[in-house]
Each structure stands twice: as C-alpha cells, then as structure tokens.
A and B are shown apart, each in its own frame.
Chain A
Amino acid sequence: EPEVTQTPSHQVTQMGQEVILRCVPISNHLYFYWYRQILGQKVEFLVSFYNNEISEKSEIFDDQFSVERPDGSNFTLKIRSTKLEDSAMYFCASNPVSTDTQYFGPGTRLTVL
C-alpha cells in the first residue's frame, strides 16, 4: 500500500541554522500539508499546498517557513533560522482529489539546541 514517507526521521540542529524537511507524498495525490506537534501537545496545522502554491497557512507559518515542490515527487518544508521553540515532530500529509482523508507520514523529529 502506498505511504507518505519523510526524511530524515530525526534532525538535530543548532539554533539559527536552516533545516529542510523532506516528504514524498503518495504519487497520485494533489493536496499536500505540513503539521507539527510539540511534545505533549496537539497536532497543529502549518500550511496546505495545491497546484504549486500555498492555499492556506496558519499564524505559525511565518516568514521563517517556506514550502516547495521542487520536482514531481518531493515536498519540502524549510525553516530558515531555527529557534528553540521550533523543536517538534513535523508531519507531512497528502490526499487525492477523490477523498477528504489525509494520509500522514511517520514524521520528522526536529530538535533545536
């Protein structure tokens, strides 16, 4: 069964450094999302992406964040200058045209020191 994949599974970085989190959505899906979950807290929406542009973003998704679909398979989240409070699990999700069900990847645990 096709799955959303994410790399790396764990990323450790120093405060102020740039990180890129990578996702490969399911191949026939057209809608892509990033969510994050700070340890012990709710899963929070960051951004949705369709037709090569952002369709919606949350207040969390400020100028330090950007998303890109550089080719036909990858979907990336970049944090330009990481802060301690960016430490969280980041989930990528996707869904096809035919269903509202969002399929989540296994997540990338980002630790900012």
Chain B
Amino acid sequence: SQQGEEDPQALSIQEGENATMNCSYKTSINNLQWYRQNSGRGLVHLILIRSNEREKHSGRLRVTLDTSKKSSSLLITASRAADTASYFCATDASGGYNKLIFGAGTRLAVHP
C-alpha cells in the first residue's frame, strides 16, 4: 500500500526563516494534499497539487511535486510563530472521492 512519509520528523527554526518539509510516497497518485494540525486539533487543508502539476503557490506556501521521484516538498517562507504545528502530506491514488493516505507528519516549531 502507498504511504506518505515526511522528513524531517521535527524541525525547529526562528521566526523569519524558511521551513522546508519533504514527503515521499510509494505508488502512483492522482493528487497530493498538505494539511496542518495544531496540537490536538483538527486538520486544516493547505494546498492540493495534482499529478500533472510540478509547482503550486498559495500565499507563503510553495509546494513542489516530482512524480518521477515520488516526492513532494512544502516550503513555508518567512515563518511566523503561528506556523508552529504538525504538517502532513496525504496522497490520493484513485482520482478523488476516495481515501487519503497520510504520512507521519513533520512537527514544526517556530521560535519568536
């Protein structure tokens, strides 16, 4: 079965720095989504990138997708303390309306 695996598992940076998180997966996908989870809270959708897209931007977020390497990266630029959270990638293999397979997540700590 496919899996998304993020690295690093934990990342600690200062406010204003950029944070880069990576995700790898095992099988072909239709799309890949990134979610944020504040401690003990719900999952907030950040961005979706389709398998035929290579890069996508949303505000301070930049996501890349390399289907040949089965990997994706999430870049948060000019980080803020409020960005402190866990970030998960989730893959959808079958073209929508189907299960998401989540990775283990990266815990990001942004220090003021």
A interface residue numbers (CB < 8 A to B): 31, 33, 35, 41-45, 48, 50, 55-56, 58, 89, 91, 93, 95, 99-107, 109
How distant is the Cα of A18 from the Cα of B105 in the complex, in angstroms?
Answer: 31
How distant is the Cα of A89 from the Cα of B39 in the complex, in angstroms?
Answer: 12
Chain A residues with Cβ under 8 A from B41's Cβ?
106-107
Chain B residues with Cβ under 8 A from A93's Cβ?
43
B79 within 8 A of A: no
Knowing that A43-B88, A43-B100 touch, tell me 13 more A-B residue pairs with CB under 8 angstroms: A33-B99, A42-B102, A45-B100, A45-B101, A48-B99, A89-B40, A91-B43, A95-B97, A100-B92, A100-B96, A101-B33, A101-B45, A104-B45
Rounded to whole Å, the gap between the CB of A104 and the closest CB of chain B is: 4
Which of A31, A91, A106, A109 is the one whose CB lies under 8 Å from B97?
A31
Contact sample, A vs B, 28 pairs, CB 8 Å cutoff: A31-B97, A35-B100, A35-B102, A41-B104, A42-B102, A42-B105, A44-B102, A45-B100, A48-B97, A48-B98, A48-B99, A50-B97, A56-B98, A56-B99, A89-B40, A91-B42, A91-B43, A95-B97, A99-B48, A99-B96, A100-B30, A100-B97, A101-B33, A102-B45, A104-B42, A104-B45, A105-B42, A109-B40
- CB pair A102 B42 closer than 8 Å: no
How distant is the Cα of A43 from the Cα of B87 in the complex, in angstroms?
Answer: 12
